[in-house]
Amino acid sequence: MSESIRDKTAVVGVGACQFGENWDKSREDMIVEASYEAYEDAGIDNPQAQIDAVFAGAVYPREGSAEIAEALKIFGKPVSVISDYCQTGTDAFRFAVASVASGMHDTVLVVGFDKPKDRGVSGPSVSFDRVRGLPSTPAGWFSLCAARYFETFGAGREDLARIAVKNHHNGTLAPKSMIKREITVDDVLNARIISWPFGLYDTAAQSDGAAAAIVTRADLAKNYRDDYVLVKAVAIAVAEHPQRDPDFDFLRWKPTIYAAKEAYAQAGISEPFKELDVVQLHDCFTLTELLSYEDLGLCKKGEAKDHVASGTFTLEGELPVNTDGGLKSFGHPTGATGVRMIYENTLQLQGRAGPRQVKNATLALSHNIGGPPTTCGIAILGTP
């Protein structure tokens, strides 16, 4: 049953606006720039006629579907807005794939966007509307595995720092990334602490941005472009709240483990490290990337730091991870991030990733984890 989504749908166009602190761009600007680039990529010249539905992902806006329809001037069509923490973009993509696979629509637009930089603060908003669960900051949530993981497996801040250094390097090779600056392990270790063990460079760069993808039926894909990519899997899983789960061991994030199992079953993957060629995973914090190597089954629990040291996941390594700089350098407009990963993986599978191109990539995974964290979304794309 879970395999039934495999190869039913295809991505035939992708686009993204420049990520960054886009003081001079509105949400409308970013939605239009990403979507029109995806139209062009797919050869769509009359979206009002050729797009049957829009699936949008965004965390910050409260304006619903009208904002997207107005921006794109697509009317009389269904427009849905999905909002669920950091896996928002992947979930919007999942709804799009499901609607096409079911036969409800032929060709749909997925657009993820967010503009956190209009709020006047750096980092996430802090709320005082309750007394329990404070501080409720993402850095605080994602750092909770640190002390016990470090103690159990002998890892430390230096292992995390190497991940930040890698993603900063990759970001310099992606034209639309927010940060293009090489850093050193010492830079990471000496930066001010945000939530221990996370210093400034252990945290993703919150940014504005939008990314888009065109999803169509696999049998229609050739009408758009010859080098389309197929959707092998798209899975979402919600796990126990890590702050309430009486069995939680603070060594892993369960949402990823649940979603990976489902996604690999859909795609027919049994040895992910061998079968996957490129991975975009949710490096909201360096520790999240470290844990995700293991939680995605790319290596054994406790061995991630050895792979970090040996360079397994660098652009030159056996399995490049976060080829475009990830959330750390490309930027993290929450609702856009999952779709930005689809954008990057599509370029990689089509051989269009320029200096960061992974050779002969045929199978690519993207991964988001969000909430305290409680939810994970995974999409796997492959060449036909």
Partner 1 sequence: MTGIAAYGAYVPRTRLPLALIAGRVAKEGSPEKAVANYDEDAVTLAVAAALDCLTGIDRSLVDGVYFASTSYRLAEKQGAALIAKALDLRRNVRTSDFSGSLRAGFSALESALHAVAAGSLRHVLVIASDCRMGAPRSALESKLGDGAAAFLVSNENPIATLEDSYAVADELQDLWRAGGETFTHSWEDRFVVKEGYTPNLIEAVRGLLEKSGRQAGDFAHVALYAPDARSLGDAARKLAVGPEQLQDAFFGRLGNTGAAFAPMLLAASLEASKPGERVLAAAYGDGAHALSFQVTEFIQKLEPRRGVQGHLAQRLPLSSYDAYLRARQLDPVEWQASADLGLSASVRFRERDADIGLVGARCRSCSLVHFPRPRVCYGCHTKDEWEPFRLSDRRGRVLAFTFDYFFPAAEPPTTVVMVEAEGCRLQVQLADARPEDVRLDLPVSFCFRKIHDAGGKPNYFWKAVSHQGETS
User: Is position 130 an interface residue for partner 1 (rule: CB under 8 A)?
Assistant: yes
* Run of H or E residues at 257: helix 254-267
- Contact letters (x/-) for partner 1, 226-245, by CB under 8 A? --------------x--xxx
Rg (alpha carbons) of the chain, rounded to whole number:
19
Instruction: Note whether 190 binds partner 1 by CB under 8 A.
Output: no
Among 149, 153, 155, 187, CA closest to 168? 187
Strand partners, 10: 216, 230
Shortest CA distance to 89 belongs to which of 53, 115, 58? 58
116 cis-preceded (ω within 30 degrees of 0): no
Q: Please, which residues have CB within 8 angstroms of residue 210's CB and are 6 or more apart in sequence? A: 16, 17, 27, 30, 31, 33, 34, 35, 111, 112, 113, 114, 333, 336
Does 291 bind partner 1 (CB under 8 A)? Our answer is no
Per CB under 8 A, 154 contacts partner 1:
no
Nearest CB to partner 1, comparing residues 104 and 126: 126
Choose between 75 and 128: whose C-beta lies nearer to partner 1. 128
Alpha-carbon separation of residue 8 from 160, 229, 279, 295 (angstroms): 38, 11, 22, 27
Task: State the catalytic residue, choosing from 17, 86, 299, 376.
Answer: 86
* Residue 145 is a binding residue for partner 1 (CB under 8 A): yes
171: DSSP letter:
H
* Whole-number Å distance between alpha carbons of 156 and 167: 18
Q: Does the footprint of partner 1 cover residue 66 (CB under 8 A)?
A: no
Residue of 105, 169, 282, 332 marked catalytic: 332
Q: Is 145 a catalytic residue?
A: no
Nearer to partner 1, 133 or 354 (CB): 133
Residue numbers 95-124 binding partner 1 by CB under 8 A: 123
Q: Please give the residues from 333 up to 372 whose contact with partner 1 meets the rule CB under 8 A.
A: none
Residue closer to partner 1, measured from CB, 103 or 120: 120
Please report, in angstroms and rounded to a whole number, the separation of the first and last CA atoms in the chain: 21
Among positions 248-277, residues that touch partner 1 (CB under 8 A) are: 248, 250
Taking CB under 8 A as the rule, does residue 219 contact partner 1?
no
Site size toward partner 1 (CB under 8 A) is 34
**Min. distance of Cβ 144 from partner 1 in angstroms?**
4
Whether omega before 175 lies within 30 degrees of 0, making that bond cis, reads no
Could you say whether residue 17 binds partner 1 (CB under 8 A)? no
Among 131, 226, 271, 316, binds partner 1 (CB under 8 A): 131
Using the contact rule CB under 8 A, the part of the chain among 38-46, 105-113, 129-137, 326-334 near partner 1 is 129-137
CA 315 to chain centroid, in Å, comes to 18
Q: Would you count residue 18 as binding partner 1 (CB under 8 A)?
A: no
- Nearest distance in Å: CB 188, partner 1: 16
Q: Is 307 a catalytic residue?
A: no
Is residue 114 within 8 Å of 335, Cβ to Cβ? yes
Nearest one of 268, 317, 223 to 13, comparing CA atoms: 223
Q: Is 62 in the site for partner 1 (CB under 8 A)?
A: no
Residues with a known catalytic role: 86, 332
Residues of this chain that bind partner 1 (CB under 8 A): 123, 126-135, 137, 139-140, 143-148, 151, 192-197, 240, 243-246, 248, 250
